[in-house]
Structure 1
Amino acid sequence: MARTDEPAPPLPPERLAAVADALYAGSVEEFVPRRDAAVKAAKQDGDPALATAVGKLRKPSVAAWAVNLLVRVEAEQIAQVLAVAASLRSAAEALDGDELRALTRQRRQLTAALATTARSRARDEGTRLSESVVEQVEGVLTAAMLDPVAAEVVLTGRLVRSFTSTGVSDLDVEAVVAVPDALAVAATPREADAPPAPPTLTLVPDDGRARREAEEALEEAAEQLASARAEHDEVEESVARLDARRLQLQGEAEELRRRLAELEDEVDRCDEERDEAQEALDDAAAVLAEAAREEERARAALDALD
């Protein structure tokens, strides 16, 4: 009887996502050995399709790991922020320019606060995030607030690299997240004592408060700008004075070097003239000695005649 090889059923993305969820919840350093262990376990369970798929999961960058960590330890805060961001996107067309500017400022403050929280949470895990990595984390969070697809990607907790977005859904999902076919499978929150959550982004009612807050923020920014400008001008003036003094000292040093060269030339000329004078002195001394001898001989001859 002929044997018919039936193709293996396709691997449900939810199964792979479940394994990936556990892997991406760990540290970057432990990812590869944990992945290898998951591959081995799948093989031992007689699931080669799962083993192959798990083996292809990519190690996350540090920034992607930090976002994945934040999504798990600040799950409620992240969900709330992204829900409000969705409301803002829906309401954006009905808001005037002042309100939109105020909301944009609040969004930036919130993403910066969340990025700071990510840095703190990463430090708790024994990893220090550099300034460039924190900027990448903030870029991902901003993208998630602007783009619903990016928000869905972030909530999986399976990022493999950081990304940015301008709000248009042109994100290359397959390039930035593991198991892109299972975006509906969100990260499993981690149960832990969470620190105080960063401020929440809320819709600003149309009662003039947004304008007042914007004006107050502008006034404060103007004061800071004036202070910074005054300090900048003072330091700039100090630098200008030092530059002028340096040029003066360079000129004086150059004049001293020129004068030193002239003196050294004079010393060389003096040495040459002294050598010549010494030779003349030696010759004169020899002539003097000979003349003295001649005078002595002449005196002796005169005395002999007497």
Structure 2
Amino acid sequence: MTDLLVDAAAVVYRARPAAFVQVRREQADALARDAPDAAARLRELPKPVRAAWAVNMLVWQMPERLAQLLELGRALRAAHARADADELRTLSGERRVLLATIAGELAAICAELDAPLSTSTRDQVNETLVAALSEEAAEQAIVTGRLVRPLSPGIDPRSVTALAEVPGRPPEPLRPGSPLVPVPSGRADQSGTARSSRGRAERAAEIRAAERRVARLESALERATGKVAEYDTAMTSLRTRVDETRKQWEELERELEQTAREHQRAARTRDQARSALAQAVDLLTAAERNTTSH
């Protein structure tokens, strides 16, 4: 049930805000026959507020940027753990550039989807992304692509995530993402190495995303193949039953014809007996009259 529910939820949370309720209903209806429990759970999933929806679009529409955000967040948390002031200054500069880049690209995508972002909504989006950079739990919540409310200090990320018990998996994009804008490292002597490292990380992220997509498609193919086999068996059984029913029908038709012929013969015999009885009664009546007259 979990895979079916998560896949359906992914479709629902990719939908434009105006289409959310309709898409949720359609997905639940599609699940109802084979997975009624999953369908019931899907119908209860909450509609995300605009800021949460926008962050979900980062996951579904901008996987390259998401990979950059995750990589930078891990680097920032590691630098904090080491109390490396120089590294933190450098990474803070990268963070400003990346967040500004994501904000502009995400605003454009949301506008294309007829769901423009207000200034306050953009602020909530930025606060959510900052939380993901700072906390692993917030990062994991964002990666699900199922946020229903934006993140802010003091809020448990699981409390604002639909199906929070299911770990996130960075999805493949619905359409090709925009070209990556390099994030300056601020270290001239290491810029080439940083770009090379970042490029390898991006390629590795693409490979991992492709592998996950292949695994999901293989799983979907396996489920579909199983369904086809089930329906093949059901169709064979139904054809056998149809053939048996047809034979029974033909046999019943023959019995009906035989019964009809026997009915006709019995009717003729009855009519003949009735006629003979009438004649016998007439003869008896005549004989009685003759006896009385003599």
Fold match by TM threshold 0.5: yes
Q: Is 1:107–1:201's contact at 8 Å kept on the other side of the alignment?
A: no
C-alpha separation in 1, matches of 2:100 and 2:173:
22
The 1:95/1:15 distance shift into structure 2, 3 A limit, reads: same
C-alpha separation in 1, matches of 2:55 and 2:181:
15
Q: Aligned residue for 1:173?
A: 157
Instruction: Answer yes or no: is 1:185 the counterpart of 2:173.
Output: no
Q: Is 1:149–1:171's contact at 8 Å kept on the other side of the alignment?
A: no
Q: Is 1:156–1:186's contact at 8 Å kept on the other side of the alignment?
A: yes
Q: Aligned residue for 1:196?
A: 179
Q: Aligned residue for 1:58?
A: 46
Please identify the structure whose Cα radius of gyration is greater: 1
1:201, distance to aligned residue in structure 2 (A): 6.2
Q: Is 1:72–1:187's contact at 8 Å kept on the other side of the alignment?
A: yes
Q: Aligned residue for 1:294?
A: none
1:102, distance to aligned residue in structure 2 (A): 3.6
Instruction: Answer yes or no: is 1:159 the counterpart of 2:141.
Output: no
The 1:149/1:174 distance shift into structure 2, 3 A limit, reads: closer
Q: Aligned residue for 2:200?
A: none
Q: Aligned residue for 1:148?
A: 136
- Which protein is richer in helix relative to its size? 2
Q: Aligned residue for 1:38?
A: 27
Flag structure 2 segments of 5+ consecutive residues without an equivalent.
192-294
Aligned-pair RMSD on alpha carbons? 2.5
1:207, distance to aligned residue in structure 2 (A): 6.5
The 1:98/1:118 distance shift into structure 2, 3 A limit, reads: same
1:97, distance to aligned residue in structure 2 (A): 2.9
Q: Aligned residue for 2:4?
A: 15
- Identity rate of aligned residues, in percent? 31
Q: Deviations over 1:191-238 (max 9, x none)?
A: 23x333344365x659699xxxxxxxxxxxxxxxxxxxxxxxxxxxxx
C-alpha separation in 2, matches of 1:52 and 1:84:
38
The 1:206/1:199 distance shift into structure 2, 3 A limit, reads: closer
Q: Deviations over 1:112-170 (max 9, x none)?
A: 221121101111112211100111111111111111111111111111111124xxxx6
- SS of match in other structure, 1:182: coil
C-alpha separation in 2, matches of 1:51 and 1:130:
34
TM-score if structure 1 supplies the norm length? 0.56
Flag structure 1 segments of 5+ consecutive residues without an equivalent.
1-10, 210-306
Aligned length: 191
Q: Aligned residue for 1:84?
A: 72
C-alpha separation in 2, matches of 1:52 and 1:22:
16
**Equivalences for 1:83-162 in 2 at 5 Å?**
83-94=71-82, 96-162=84-150
